[in-house]
Amino acid sequence: MKIGIFDSGIGGLSVLHQAMITMPEADYIFYADVDNVPYGEKTREEVRKLVDHAVGFLVDKGCQAIVLACNTATSAAISYLREKYKLPIIGIEPAVKPAVEHTSETGRRVMVVSTPVTAKGEKLKRVIDKYDDKHVVDVVALPKLVRFAQDDDFDSSDVTDYLKCEFAPYNLNDYSELVLGCTHFNYFKDSFAKLFPDDLEMVDGNTGVSNNLKNTVMKKGIFTEKDKGKKGSVEYYYSDRKMESEAEMKHIKKLHERLERMRQI
């Protein structure tokens, strides 16, 4: 059972991290398109082309299902990819529905943070129109966070200053929900927590996507009885290059460790 997990960069590791917990039996191929990150500041056309290349690469490697662990790629390319490729393609999008539902208990607002492509996309607009009948959702694009993450800068004063500046027009005490609408933003949960009220709930789509992946591969017969109890593996690719050196694997391990800490917040 070979599963491809794709992102423009290291954000998708947060989805892989959860998928390895939900379905440890799979052999994963993780593809981060680091040569072309950030996607969130490109045109939708450019994003579509890049994701098409990466998905083609993962199909050639024998993947039987693919997760777009990237809200931006899902927003710009999922319909196109599902038409072009025959295998299951699972996307991720900002988890607006559970966040809005929770505000009926808190009486406060929801902030969705994402890249500019996701923020301006029709997909997010449709989800908000569907669930936000009380108009409690605000969308804020934070493109620079993707760059900070790719530079391994997760909790410096530069990160906090950037967030403070972007959030300046909002009263953060108004929010009980923060929807992480970009997989890179999982690395910054501690920085977000410092700025919002203590009871803030941060909602990401990682568990939902991992459950969705497991249900899909079971339904399609990709996950069979003989896979049960198996110990899977992971191969990491940065664009089309396989990561193998000790230094690269050490870095990836450090990122997983940070994601495990962020998962507990």
Binding site for ligand DGL (CB under 6 A): 7-9, 11, 37-40, 70-72, 115, 118, 146, 182-184
The C-alpha atoms of residue 244 and residue 248 are separated, in whole angstroms, by 7
Nearest approach, Cβ of 69 to ligand DGL (angstroms)?
Answer: 7
Which candidate in 81, 100, 182, 252 is catalytic?
A: 182
Annotated active-site residue 182? The verdict is yes
In the bound state with ligand DGL, the residue whose beta carbon lies nearer, of 10 and 26, is: 10
- Residue closest to ligand DGL (Cβ): 40
Distances (CA, A) of 46 to 76, 150, 165, 192: 9, 20, 29, 30
In the bound state with ligand DGL, the residue whose beta carbon lies nearer, of 89 and 222, is: 89
In the bound state with ligand DGL, the residue whose beta carbon lies nearer, of 1 and 58, is: 58
Helix 122-131 vs helix 96-106: angle between axes, to the nearest 10 degrees? 30
Nearest approach, Cβ of 77 to ligand DGL (angstroms)?
Answer: 12
The C-alpha atoms of residue 50 and residue 37 are separated, in whole angstroms, by 10
User: Helix, strand or coil for residue 256?
Assistant: helix
Nearest approach, Cβ of 26 to ligand DGL (angstroms)?
Answer: 21
Closest CA relative to residue 7, chosen from 81, 72, 93, 65: 72
Nearest approach, Cβ of 181 to ligand DGL (angstroms)?
Answer: 7
- What separation, in Å, do the N-terminal and C-terminal C-alpha atoms of the chain show? 31
In the bound state with ligand DGL, the residue whose beta carbon lies nearer, of 189 and 222, is: 189
Which candidate in 29, 70, 137, 209 is catalytic?
A: 70
Task: Say if CB 259 and CB 184 are below 8 A apart.
Answer: no
Distances (CA, A) of 129 to 94, 117, 123, 147, 175: 13, 18, 10, 30, 19
Tell me which residues are annotated as active site. Answer: 70, 182
